[in-house]
A and B are shown apart, each in its own frame.
Chain A
Amino acid sequence: EIVMTQSPATLSVSPGERATLSCRASQSVNSNLAWYQQKPGQAPRLLIYGASTRATGIPARFSGSGSGTEFTLTISSLQSEDFAVYYCQQYNYWPWTFGQGTKVEIK
C-alpha cells in the first residue's frame, strides 16, 4: 500500500499570505495525485487532479505541482474561505490512499 505523508500537520497563515502544503508518496505515483479541501461538516471538494490540473470552478490562486513522490499545493493569497483541511490522494495504485491531512488555520 502506498503511504501518503502530508506536512505540516497544521499551517498557521495570515489572510493574504501564501500557503505551501506538501505531500510525499512512499513510492512513485507518477502524476496520479489529487488534492481536496474539506471544511467542517462538509464533504471534501476536489481542487486539483493529475497533480496540477485545477478542477472546474477552482480559483486560480490554487495550484498544484510535482510528480513521482513529491507534490505541492500552493494557495497564492489566502482568503477567509480557504481555511480548511486539505488532503492529497494517490490513484496510481490500488488501494487508492489519502494523506492524513493538513489543517490551514488563521494566524
Chain B
Amino acid sequence: QVQLVQSGAEVKKPGASVKVSCKASGYTFTSYAISWVRQAPGQGLEWMGWISTYNGNTNYAQKLQGRVTMTTDTSTSTAYMELRSLRSDDTAVYYCAKAGAAAGWFDPWGQGTLVTVSS
C-alpha cells in the first residue's frame, strides 16, 4: 500500500536548522509530487510548499521563501524538507503528503514529525 514514513521528533534551538525526511513506498515515486504542510499546536493546517519528484521543481509559500528548501533523492524514494533560522513560532508538526494525480490534493499523508524550537 502507498505509505509515507517520516523521521522522528526534533528539538532545536532558535536560529538552528532542521531537516525532516519522508520515505515513500508502494508507488512510483517520480510520478507524483510531494507537498509539505505544517500544523502549529492547536492550530490549523498551513501549506509550506511543493516539489516535483520528476524534475525537482519547487514552489514555496512566500512567507517561508529564503528559509525553506525541499529536495528529493529518487534513488531512495525519499523527500526532504529543511527549514533554517528556526524561531519559536516554527514549533509544529510537519507533514509530507503525496499529491493527487496532476493536481493539488494530498493523499496519503505521512505520520507527522514534531519539531520543537526552544531555548
Contacts and interface: CB of A to CB of B under 8 A. Distances in A.
B107 interface: yes
A87 B47 CA distance: 12
B52 to A, nearest CB: 13
B82 interface: no
Interface in B32-70: 35, 37, 44-47, 50, 59, 61-62
Interface stretch (B9-17, B83-91, B109-117): B109-117
Nearest to A34: B105
Interface string A30-68: 001010100000011110011000010000000000000
B45 A98 contact: yes
Nearest to B6: A43
B44 A46 contact: no
A101 B95 CA distance: 17
Given A43-B109, A44-B109, A95-B62, A32 B45 contact: no
Given A43-B95, A43-B112, A97 B47 contact: yes
Contacts of B46: 98
Contacts of A44: 37, 45, 95, 106, 109
Contacts of B8: none
Given A87-B45, A98-B46, A100-B44, A55 B107 contact: yes
Q: Lowest 5 A-B CB distances belong to which pairs? A: A91-B104, A46-B107, A43-B109, A34-B105, A49-B105
Interface of B: 35, 37, 44-47, 50, 59, 61-62, 95, 100, 103-112
